[in-house]
């Protein structure tokens, strides 16, 4: 029997070659170009570019707000997915469709809409600001925008797992004397955790690179509400291409490290869950 006849996956070599070539053209080569361009800087120039106080302040806001927004979405996105799967109520299909609105809505439109809502003279802003709660044109506005664009990632990742979850496990736990909270914490949540971590990673990754919906509501005040993507755009407008790529390379490395940690945690959770079932 020839070696081609023994192959389990016919055409595997061609498919793998096409996949690697496509991945290189779309992802690897553009990302490599960022590091190659940044390599044109001397060590001191690179250090000065990425540790500028204004840039460091933007790191703290971008990564801090992205992590916080993803964490908030993980909680409320899970609750929303639970309600959509487990309950029937009037307007359920409309709510389910609205979940995908941040995907379809242009980011600039989202930013303008949020600003109109939370500005001092906006529908919500005119109620909140007299109470001392300022959302628009500050860090809170950045957080609101990142929550808005990240919510669908959590819901759409967790929702299919909830739909496939067999109710017999919950019934068995209840028959053994577990209350509803114990059933959720020990039976349902461990099953949902890998998907929840995946949604968290996707929401975080989207939030870190978000630009259009943030710049309108953030106010872009130096050291207060400037995000890192805006700093990159500013450097590009000043023709500081190497400085822009230096800041972009830092964002890439930190984002990749955080996503790697999340993926390792997800794999460990899945493996542990497999051992206990």
Structural domains of the chain in order of their starting residue, each with its CATH number: 1-38 (no CATH), 42-276 (1.10.3720.10)
Q: Which pLDDT score is estimated for 1?
A: 46
**Mean pLDDT, 10 residues at a time, over the chain (277 residues)?**
53 76 83 83 90 94 95 95 90 90 88 91 89 90 94 93 80 77 83 88 90 90 92 91 90 85 77 63
The predicted structure's pLDDT at residue 275: 63
Q: pTM score, two decimals?
A: 0.85
- If one counts every other C-beta atom within 10 angstroms of the C-beta of residue 185, the result is 12
**The predicted structure's pLDDT at residue 157:** 92
Q: How far apart are CA 41 and CA 235, in angstroms?
A: 15
At residue 9, the pLDDT reads 58
């Amino acid at each position: 029997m020839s070696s081609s006849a023994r192959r389990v996956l016919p055409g595997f070599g061609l498919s793998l070659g096409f996949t690697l070539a496509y991945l290189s053209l779309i992802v690897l080569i553009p990302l490599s170009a960022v590091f190659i361009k940044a390599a044109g800087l001397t060590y001191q120039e690179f250090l000065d570019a990425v540790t500028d106080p204004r840039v460091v302040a933007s790191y703290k806001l971008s990564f801090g707000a992205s992590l916080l927004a993803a964490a908030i979405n993980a909680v409320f996105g899970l609750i929303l997915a639970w309600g959509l799967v487990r309950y029937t109520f009037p307007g359920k299909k409309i709510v389910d469709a609205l979940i995908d609105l941040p995907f379809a809505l242009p980011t600039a439109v989202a930013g303008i809409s949020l600003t109109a809502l939370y500005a001092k003279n906006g529908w919500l802003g005119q109620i909140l600001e007299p109470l001392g709660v300022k959302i628009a044109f500050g860090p809170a506005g950045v957080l609101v925008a990142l929550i808005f664009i990240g919510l669908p990632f959590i819901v759409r990742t967790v929702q299919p797992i909830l739909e496939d979850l067999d109710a017999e496990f919950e019934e068995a736990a209840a028959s053994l004397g577990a209350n509803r909270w114990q059933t959720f914490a020990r039976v349902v949540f461990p099953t949902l955790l890998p998907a929840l971590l995946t949604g968290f990673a996707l929401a975080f990754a989207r939030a870190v690179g978000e630009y259009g919906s943030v710049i309108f509501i953030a106010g872009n005040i130096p050291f207060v509400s400037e995000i890192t993507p805006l700093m990159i755009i500013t450097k590009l407008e000043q023709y500081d291409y190497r400085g822009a790529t230096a800041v972009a390379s830092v964002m890439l490395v930190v984002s990749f490290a955080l996503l790697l940690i999340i993926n390792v945690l997800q794999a460990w959770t899945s493996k542990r869950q497999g051992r206990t079932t």
